[in-house]
Chain A
Amino acid sequence: MAATSLRSVNPKFTQTLASPPTKSPPFQSPFLRFNPTTFTPKPLTTRSTFVTRSSAAEPQERKTFHGLCYVVGDNIDTDQIIPAEFLTLVPSNPDEYQKLGSYALVGLPASYKERFVEPGEMKTKYSIIIGGENFGCGSSREHAPVCLGAAGAKAVVAQSYARIFFRNSVATGEIYPLDSEVRVCEECKTGDVATVELREGDSVLINHTTGKEYKLKAIGDAGPVIDAGGIFAYARKAGMIPSVAA
């Protein structure tokens, strides 16, 4: 397991943490704050990939994300996810990483009445982003999946993805990019309460507000990489690169 002590700081440029920023957010899961009337709360598994990345997930383990949905349309490009003016923020810098989260999806047009992150807030109250076709098209900027993860979202469920966005999501382990089989963006509404359950061969999105369930496509080869915590952790596990040098 990577050492968690801070490395020596070069005063010229910003320090970075020795281990990838852990996703144990100080804020409460929206699930715990929300008082729905129509369902029984399910306990969050503490071994969610995004909380303790250092422990390897077992293949049969159920990964669960639960919370509110934020619904967007087709072709949500990287300029809408994180406008270019915010690219001066460096994601490997912890403070700027948090700032990026506060700007997540701020580029969406005004027709989106509910904002993904409320003005003045740093985190989102939505755990699951529901998208249409070609989510994340446009730039190769890694800031796109990073800001969604930094904001506190756990997963995107979309009909299809642009390749660089998908690849960056996997490489960073910041957000789970999941494929739906139908047009879920037309059947879910922002604010719906949902659960995403990932299992071997049998993953689902459950919309508790509408009562509907949707099958999700298997994550395939990307699974082991995200499970390990991103491409570096995976490469270390596979012996491709040595562990972090002393």
Chain B
Amino acid sequence: MASAVISSSPFVCKSSTKVKGLGFSSFPKPSQISVHRCQKKSIVSVMAPQRSSPATSGSVKTGMTMTEKILAKAAEKSQVVPGDNIWVNVDVLMTHDVCGPGAFGIFKREFGDNAKVWDPEKIVVIPDHYIFTTDKRANRNVDIMREHCREQNIKYFYDITDLGDFRANPDYKGVCHVALAQEGHCRPGEVLLGTDSHTCTAGAFGQFATGIGNTDAGFVLGTGKILLKVPPTMRFILDGEMPSYLQAKDLILQIIGEISVAGATYKTMEFSGTTIESLSMEERMTLCNMVVEAGGKNGVIPPDATTFNYVENRTSVPFEPVYSDGNASFVADYRFDVSKLEPVVAKPHSPDNRALARECKDVKIDRVYIGSCTGGKTEDFMAAAKLLHAAGKQVKVPTFLVPATKKVWMDVYALPVPGAGGKTCAQIFEEAGCDTPTSPSCGACLGGPADTYARLNEPQVCVSTTNRNFPGRMGNKEGQIYLASPYTAAASALTGHVTDPREFLQ
């Protein structure tokens, strides 16, 4: 029955057999699955999703999804259902230079100047947002975090003191979400919170990870607990062989375009299927990273050998993976045949303003930005370099490269790109005329202080591997940002227009 549903996209099969009273129509007409803004849809705004009442006969135990299981365990309960308000034990709390001072400020105000954090080994402080700037307040915020970490004996503080040379700082890492993974803080089955919306990235490791504000973080600092409402889960099953020109960024932009920027509000997005199983950890991170752009509470991918391999190489802390039960309830089911998908972009000014990259080839661009937690990891640069090398041409517009972390930067300079005769990413970038890879940080993804490298200070058109393109996101309010995969970004740099990477990859 599910396969009889016709949607506007031939690659999507939406099964609504398990939708229970949450405002979704059972068989949406093609016109209702809009790829653009959600004005025509009625979004049910709920903080508490309406709970479905399964027709149980008393002793039948309801199956739970991955997220429900993780939260149940963290709340020391045997069973939870969506809608339950529960107190959850936190395994890791992350904060950075922008929200850390506020979170600690609230912690001290509420728990007392002499209060101690609940566990100095479970807090990870990662300066990454406004680092390489002369903005005095930004610099001060890193100093404030240093003070707090010293006072509280915080074990993991990836400090930076020498802003002139990032390599001179032994502890500095860079972008928090990538650093968390690289430093072994992401583990299946755990609860990870961060004062940043893209904390959902860590869901790639089969854990519950979501962003919170300063006040919630201040509360966690003191108690190690947080009050959460259990979200229902939307399941996205991606099957089929990943085409050589497609990346995880294309997959998530495809999905957000399908369900809109509020399509997953208050819900979990669970990704599974043969395509997911074929993805590397970094690609899985890209997928989960943008869950928040669909309004999602958290994203999650079942852990497997790929996950265990990555994690066990970086930490010896034991973990316990969990998986959705066969009889778990999902609030929506989407299926994608990935082999039929094409590279996509999100046009200005919304992450759900999806369009095929090849249909935007007349859009003239002014610059390209490759960086951020979404698209500035080692594999993202490898991909861009691979395309540039295959093309053998020079970029036509300024192309800014911002490695997410120190490790990524080193990989860019040290690792040979497959099929490029031993050349490194850095060499290929230089030959193609890109800007020199800069100091690792969040950079211009979110604009930042006025002197931030690659900030959009004029109303220009930029193709970017970042995560949001709302007005003013990278600086100038009239700037036009096209969100894209690293392949699409590199291809666009070569032509000076938004370009489908197949122009250079096939």
Contacts and interface: CB of A to CB of B under 8 A. Distances in A.
A87 B109 contact: no
A83 B446 CA distance: 9
- The secondary-structure label for the interface of chain B is loop
Contacts of A18: 109
Interface stretch (B12-20, B241-249, B378-386, B471-479): B471-479
Interface string A1-19: 0000001101011101111
A232 interface: yes
B27 interface: no
B448 A84 contact: yes
B262 A139 contact: no
Interface in B128-155: 129-130, 135, 137-138, 140-141, 143-144, 147
A231 B262 contact: no
Given A138-B197, A162-B295, A12 B147 contact: yes
A15 B431 CA distance: 52
Contact of B211 (A87, A134, A164, A230): A164
Contacts of B143: 12-13
Contact of B196 (A14, A75, A140): A140
B37 A171 contact: no
A48 interface: no
Nearest to A232: B110
B25 interface: no
Interface in A205-246: 217, 220-222, 230-232, 235, 240-241, 244-246
Given A142-B99, A163-B295, A241-B223, A230 B448 contact: no
B447 interface: yes
A189 interface: no
A228 to B, nearest CB: 13
B265 A134 contact: yes
A227 to B, nearest CB: 15
Given A88-B130, A91-B214, A235-B219, A245 B112 contact: yes
A92 B106 contact: yes
A164 B135 CA distance: 28
Interface in B243-284: 261-262, 265-266
B233 interface: no
Q: How large is the interface on B (under 10, 10 to 19, 20 to 34, 35 or more residues)?
A: 35 or more
Given A140-B197, A221-B85, A90 B38 contact: no
Interface in B91-140: 98-99, 101-102, 105-106, 108-115, 129-130, 135, 137-138, 140
A127 interface: no
B88 to A, nearest CB: 13
Is chain A's binding surface mostly helix, strand, loop or mixed? loop
B187 to A, nearest CB: 22
A168 B261 CA distance: 19
Contacts of B197: 138-141, 164
Interface string B204-231: 0000000111111011001100010000
B98 A79 contact: no
B312 to A, nearest CB: 30
B149 to A, nearest CB: 12
A179 B45 contact: yes
Contacts of B48: 220-221
A14 B110 CA distance: 15
A79 B135 contact: no
B37 A75 contact: yes
Nearest to A96: B137
Given A138-B470, A220-B47, A109 B477 contact: yes
A74 interface: yes
A87 B295 CA distance: 22
Nearest to A87: B98
A222 B48 CA distance: 10
Interface residues on A, range: 35 or more
A166 B47 contact: yes
A228 B140 CA distance: 33
Contact of A107 (B98, B196, B472): B472
A17 B102 CA distance: 13
A83 B265 CA distance: 23
A90 B102 CA distance: 5
Contacts of A166: 47
B130 A231 contact: no
A226 to B, nearest CB: 12
A160 B265 contact: yes
A85 B457 CA distance: 12
B196 A92 contact: no
Contacts of B44: 160
Interface in A73-104: 74-75, 77, 79-80, 83-85, 87-93
B178 to A, nearest CB: 17
B43 interface: yes
Contacts of B447: 79, 83-85
20 contacts: A7-B108, A10-B147, A12-B147, A75-B261, A79-B447, A79-B470, A80-B470, A88-B141, A92-B214, A108-B471, A134-B43, A140-B212, A141-B197, A160-B44, A160-B262, A162-B262, A163-B265, A171-B219, A230-B215, A240-B223
Nearest first, the 10 A-B pairs at minimum CB distance are: A92-B105, A160-B45, A245-B112, A142-B213, A140-B211, A88-B137, A168-B213, A84-B446, A140-B197, A171-B215
Given A133-B262, A159-B45, A167-B47, 10 more contacts: A10-B113, A18-B109, A75-B470, A79-B468, A91-B105, A107-B471, A140-B196, A141-B98, A167-B213, A232-B110
